[in-house]
């Protein structure tokens, strides 16, 4: 496909429509004058995901549609391209895009913002790629909700004790906030759901958390991490510290402490790494972890017309000399605003400013009415921490429309019981029709229709 003609106004190409991408584009569209620049956002999904709400979406406290922000609705003055950037040549100022349909093509730009975030840091553990699932996207959050409820259905409907035990065993690997919040919320959901099953009690559920270091939830500090450990242990969650997953081929989990068990559900949340697409970016320096190197102004170090922020950028932390800003939504949102202001300043020949923010701490939800927090040095646990988690994230979720939808979900949840329907078959929508048409779909394999569409 031929290269589209560069518009007269400079094109600001924002790669990624997550926290940094969305907030940068929002700021640019509100600050730029008409015709001053074109803002183009490249993102494979048509929405930004508010990741801190994924555990609640998974547990059914929030509707999945309310934790994502439709890019075309909020970025009305920007051009949105649903594609993946696969390579970039900053000297030629072109990015190679792989659109959601059709062949790859090159897009010319004048200024680039690198906001591709991170991806799960996996290890070559036997069985992991086939049996594991991450917890970074809304699709994974919905899948896990369906999977856990489906496992309860399986356990209730079989007399095979080994099959039942395997279905009721859920293994989470990685004790940072993504893993701990996901496990805590889903355990809460599963325990709550057992009320509706005749043959399953909460004691039948086995949730295992595997963590290689000697603590969990480092984000909230050592004593709050200790409290979380206690809280989860009291809920019968089997926590294995200083333990690694060694293999999980065919769902047979083997841990480094010698323990072996079978599980249908293996969730991998053991860290993230910079987006691997950056390895194909020519002309932008990266550090040893593959992150794009940036100055405190968020300009890519020594490179004109290139900016970076968020999980895929190595940015000096001026509030903690010698360190870099950590991968968090807190930094991503603030960096995006500074970065956008600096781009506007550059376009107008003004002064750029450095990014400085002292990390205020973290809040984590551990299920309905349970939480842990350390913010501005204040430590909270239980209901107050959970309440702070909700109010903090409500204040942060983008757009008034989303805030109102989230509050409505929470309010409804006060009056109605949690929804416990598993819609696992939603991922195989053609089976019913194909069975009616005489196609053999009994094996559980992908139907021809589904295989063709993937
Ligand atoms: C479950 C969970 C809970 C969290 N809770 C908290 C919390 O409570 N507090 C906190 O501060 N932080 C939290 N975080 C971390 C926070 O969400 C991230 O630090 C933040 O999202 C980083 O923003 P980003 O813009 O760098 O990356 P992202 O928000 O991940 O955005 C990157 C975007 O790039 C897109 N992309 C990827 N590859 C390509 C490509 N090749 N081409 C084009 N686009 C691409 C992705 O689809 C994505 O939309 C949590 C994370 C998770 C997973």
- Give, for all 454 residues of the chain, the pLDDT tens digit: 445 545 579 999 999 999 999 999 999 999 999 999 999 999 999 999 999 999 999 998 888 889 999 999 999 999 999 999 999 999 999 999 999 999 999 999 999 999 999 999 889 999 999 999 999 999 999 999 999 999 999 999 999 999 999 999 999 999 988 899 999 999 999 999 999 999 999 999 999 999 999 999 887 777 888 888 988 999 999 999 999 999 999 999 999 999 999 999 999 999 889 999 999 999 999 999 999 999 999 999 999 999 999 999 999 999 989 999 988 898 999 999 999 999 999 999 999 999 998 877 788 888 888 888 887 778 888 888 888 888 888 888 888 888 999 889 888 887 777 777 777 666 677 777 777 877 766 555 555 555 655 5
User: Which residue has a Cα nearest atom 30 of ligand 1?
Assistant: 117
- The helix, strand and coil proportions of the chain, stated in percent and rounded to the nearest 5, come to 40, 25, 40
Instruction: Please report the atom of ligand 1 found closest to the CA of residue 389.
Output: 8
pLDDT at residue 380, rounded to an integer: 85
Rounded distance between C-alpha atoms, residue 327 and residue 324, angstroms: 9
Question: Residue 196 burial (CB < 10 Å; 0-12/13-18/19+)?
Answer: exposed
pLDDT at residue 2, rounded to an integer: 47
| Cα 175 to averaged position of ligand 1 atoms, centre (Å) | 18
| Cα 118 to averaged position of ligand 1 atoms, centre (Å) | 7
Instruction: Please report the atom of ligand 1 found closest to the CA of residue 117.
Output: 27
pLDDT at residue 451, rounded to an integer: 60
DSSP state, 294? B
| Cα 50 to averaged position of ligand 1 atoms, centre (Å) | 8
The three-state secondary structure class of 95 is strand
Give the max Cα distance, the chain: 74
User: Which residue has a Cα nearest atom 19 of ligand 1?
Assistant: 328
Residue labelled with tokens 């309440």: 387
CB 10 within 8 A of CB 37: yes
pTM of the predicted model as reported, rounded to 2 decimal places: 0.89
| Cα 327 to averaged position of ligand 1 atoms, centre (Å) | 9
pLDDT at residue 332, rounded to an integer: 95
User: Which residue has a Cα nearest atom 27 of ligand 1?
Assistant: 117
| Cα 18 to averaged position of ligand 1 atoms, centre (Å) | 6
Rounded distance between C-alpha atoms, residue 282 and residue 251, angstroms: 41
Give the residues surrounding ligand 1 with Cβ less than 6 Å away: 15-21, 42-45, 51-52, 54, 84-85, 115-117, 135-136, 177-178, 275, 277, 310-312, 327-330, 332
| Cα 22 to averaged position of ligand 1 atoms, centre (Å) | 11
Q: Which of 14, 15, 16 to mutate to test the pocket of ligand 1 (most atoms within 8 A of CB)?
A: 16
| Cα 204 to averaged position of ligand 1 atoms, centre (Å) | 35
């Amino acid at each position: 496909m031929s290269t589209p003609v560069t518009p007269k106004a400079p094109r600001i190409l924002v790669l990624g429509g997550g926290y940094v991408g969305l907030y940068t584009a929002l700021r640019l569209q509100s600050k730029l004058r008409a015709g001053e620049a074109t803002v183009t956002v490249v993102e494979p999904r048509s929405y930004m995901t508010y990741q801190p709400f994924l555990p609640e979406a998974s547990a059914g406290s929030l509707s999945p549609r309310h934790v994502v922000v439709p890019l075309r609705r909020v970025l009305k003055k920007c051009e949105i391209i649903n594609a993946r950037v696969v390579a970039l040549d900053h000297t030629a100022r072109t990015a190679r895009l792989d659109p959601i349909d059709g062949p790859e093509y090159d897009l010319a730009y004048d200024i680039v913002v690198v906001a591709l975030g991170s991806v799960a840091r996996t290890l070559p553990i036997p069985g992991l790629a086939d049996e594991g699932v991450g917890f970074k996207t809304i699709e994974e959050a919905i899948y896990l909700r369906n999977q856990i409820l489906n496992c309860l259905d399986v356990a209730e409907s079989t007399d095979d004790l080994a099959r039942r035990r395997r279905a009721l065993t859920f293994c989470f690997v990685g004790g940072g906030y993504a893993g701990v919040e996901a496990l805590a919320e889903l355990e809460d959901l599963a325990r709550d759901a057992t009320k509706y099953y005749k043959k399953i009690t909460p004691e039948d559920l086995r949730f295992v958390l595997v963590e290689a270091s000697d603590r969990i939830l480092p984000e909230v500090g050592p004593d709050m991490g200790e409290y979380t450990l206690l809280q989860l242990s009291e809920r019968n969650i089997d926590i294995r510290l200083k333990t690694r997953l060694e293999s999980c081929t065919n769902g047979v989990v083997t841990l480094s402490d010698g323990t072996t068990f079978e599980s249908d559900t293996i969730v991998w949340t053991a860290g993230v790494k910079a987006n691997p697409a950056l390895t194909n970016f020519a002309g932008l320096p990266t550090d040893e972890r593959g992150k794009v190197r940036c100055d405190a102004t968020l300009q890519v170090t020594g490179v004109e017309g290139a900016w970076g922020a968020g999980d895929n950028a190595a940015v000096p932390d001026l509030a903690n000399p010698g360190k870099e800003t950590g991968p968090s939504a807190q930094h991503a949102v603030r960096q995006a605003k500074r970065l956008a202001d600096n781009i506007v300043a550059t376009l107008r020949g003004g002064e750029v400013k450095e990014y400085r923010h002292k990390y205020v701490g973290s809040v984590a939800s551990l299920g309905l009415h349970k939480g842990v927090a350390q913010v501005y040095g204040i430590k909270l646990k239980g209901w107050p921490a959970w309440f702070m988690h909700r109010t903090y994230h409500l204040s942060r979720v983008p757009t008034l429309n989303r805030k109102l939808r989230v509050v409505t979900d929470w309010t409804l949840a006060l009056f109605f019981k949690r929804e416990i329907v598993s819609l696992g078959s939603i991922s195989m929508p053609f089976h019913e029709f194909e069975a009616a048409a005489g196609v053999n779909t009994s094996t559980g394999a992908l139907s021809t229709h589904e295989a063709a569409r993937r």
